[in-house]
Amino acid sequence: MAGNAAASGDDGPKLWGGRFKKPLDSEMEKFNASIDYDKIMWSADIDGSIAYAKALAKTSIISAEERDKLCQGLELVRNEWKGGKFQIVASDEDIHTANERRLTELVGDVGRKLHTGRSRNDQVATDTRLWLRDRILAISAVLKEAISAFVEQAKVNQTVMLPGYTHLQRAQPIRWSHWLLCYASMLKRDFERLQEVYKRTNVLPLGSGALAGHPFDIDRDFLAMELNFDGITLNSLDGTSDRDFVSEFLFWSSLTSTHLSRMAEDLIIYSTKEFSFVTLADEYSTGSSLMPQKKNADSCELIRGRAGRLTGHLTGWLCTLKGLPLTYNKDLQEDKEPLFDAVETITSLIKISCGVIKTLTVNPDKMKAALSPEMLATDIAYYLVRKGVPFRDAHHVSGECVQLAESKNVDLDKLTVDDFLAVSTKFESDILQIFDYEKSMEQYNAKGGTGSKSIKWQIEVFTDWLKQN
């Protein structure tokens, strides 16, 4: 008892305090604790502990009566958390010790049996997986709603045309629906990737002990079934030290936010007075404290800004993980804050992006007015290809036509048939018919293109996919 007393915190002995004579330094106490942020996993910890109590009874380490007492006590702890009545004390290092401490206060010494054969190493790995898999399901639903918003807007705006850009220079005419479906495609990949992250998250490490395994032949398959895991980890060393699922989720969050950031950047540009292609809804805009005329795309700027934050979480975590020897090290505690923040941040980014797209006003006249004849220079080359000219030669001739128009200080469509013939005898009088933006887009009807037939096909693919997921 003397040893335990010496290693006590302000509110009782540490669960691990038997071999220590002196208590933690007060600053070390705060430095070591994670309860302030990992308390978010209180429900997952209780779920894991209830399943573990049942598994202990199954091995006869505890009696059925003790099992029931533990499970009932854990439900009382759950109710305290739900009701906002759970009291954290100074000796609670983390959510695991907090729940076990309170359980023991409620049910007596039988509470001390719950941890038999279990380590905080496999316990925290289990709790984190339980907590994250539920969030992945919630994020999947939000992401699906966002994809649906892009697709619905594409349906409404199938015929609206605007310049497509490369290098931020006008390139070729495209449809606004094509732009929307581009980002829907990115988010669809993000959705599919997230389901893969879920699969690798939903594997049970409980029963791995501290690192060597479980000494009482715990039924890990039973535990997996109780907790709705798809399977169990194959190796106890890996079970306690694996944080690949955290790394994957942080990568996923970073990549998904990068896609949303690119969308936001487009909308920031398109909503400027210089472009005026779109108008953001008041609900997703702010004003200036000095200039009354300003309507700022702050929703999009924050999407763009917080994407950097998520990339920072991933980078910082990988730097922590890269040098760790097997198996558990306290450094692994550093996964919680970036993970928790990443879940909250990416969820809000998806929700705000969805809202922005749903309420966005498109200005078709401004978009169409931004189209210019030189964007059809490639069509001149395609015209010649259809006349039998090799593409490389046709491309060169088209460039000469552009140069001629510039030398005459006229738009490309203002060249005469004679001007075109002066460049190449392959031109005929029908060359002037190519200067039609709608006709230009309609040639891109191969699946995936900006032609109306392709747009309808893309919408059908997304509509079917949304029904199936």
Give the CATH number for residue 126.
1.20.200.10
- In this structure, the strands spanning 231-232 and 203-204 are parallel
DSSP readout, 33-71? --HHHHGGGHHHHHHHHHHHHHHHHHTTSS-HHHHHHHH
Contact 104, 112 (CB under 8 A): yes
Reduced to 3 states (helix: H, G, I; strand: E, B; else coil), residue 454 is helix
Dihedral (Cα; 397, 399, 405, 406), 10-degree rounding: -150
pTM across the whole model:
0.92
Domain count, the chain: 3
Residue 203 region by backbone torsions, left for phi larger than 0, else alpha for psi between -120 and 50, else beta: beta
Nearest to 118, CA basis, from 36, 220, 186: 220
Q: Per-residue confidence of the chain (469 residues) as pLDDT tens digits?
A: 333 333 454 555 555 556 667 776 777 677 778 899 999 999 999 999 999 999 999 999 999 999 999 999 999 999 999 999 999 998 899 999 999 999 999 999 999 999 999 999 999 999 999 999 999 999 999 999 999 999 999 999 999 999 999 999 999 999 999 999 999 999 999 999 999 999 999 999 999 999 999 999 999 999 999 999 999 999 999 999 999 999 999 999 999 999 999 999 999 999 999 999 999 999 998 877 788 777 888 999 999 999 999 999 999 999 999 999 999 999 999 999 999 999 999 999 999 999 999 999 999 999 999 999 999 999 999 999 999 999 999 999 999 999 999 999 999 999 999 999 999 999 999 999 999 999 999 999 999 999 999 999 999 999 999 999 9
Whole-number Å distance between alpha carbons of 451 and 469: 27
- Residue where a domain terminates, one of 50, 83, 116: 116
Verify that 87 and 158 share a domain, yes or no. Answer: no
Verify that 110 and 144 share a domain, yes or no. Answer: no
Q: What is the DSSP letter of 426?
A: T
Beta-carbon contacts of 381 under 8 Å, excluding residues fewer than 6 positions away, are 391, 394, 395, 397, 398
Verify that 203 and 314 share a domain, yes or no. Answer: yes
What is the total residue count of the chain? Answer: 469
Decide if 4 is inside a domain: no
Verify that 252 and 183 share a domain, yes or no. Answer: yes
Whole-number Å distance between alpha carbons of 65 and 306: 51
What φ, ψ does residue 82 adopt, rounded to 5°? -60, -40
Question: How distant, in Å, are the alpha carbons of 150, 370, 374, 379 from that of 172?
Answer: 22, 11, 9, 9
Domain of residue 109, residue span: 33-116
Beta strands of 406-460 (E only): which ranges?
none
* Angle at alpha carbon of residue 73, lines to 68 and 78, rounded to 5°: 125
Q: How many CA atoms, within 13 angstroms, populate the side-chain half-sphere of residue 414?
A: 10
Which residue's entry shows tokens 């909250």? 344
Bridge partner list, 173: 163
Contact 271, 277 (CB under 8 A): yes
Verify that 440 and 405 share a domain, yes or no. Answer: yes
Verify that 155 and 199 share a domain, yes or no. Answer: yes
Active site residues: 167, 288
- Residue where a domain terminates, one of 369, 384, 402: 369
Decide if 17 is inside a domain: no
Decide if 105 is inside a domain: yes
Reduced to 3 states (helix: H, G, I; strand: E, B; else coil), residue 12 is strand
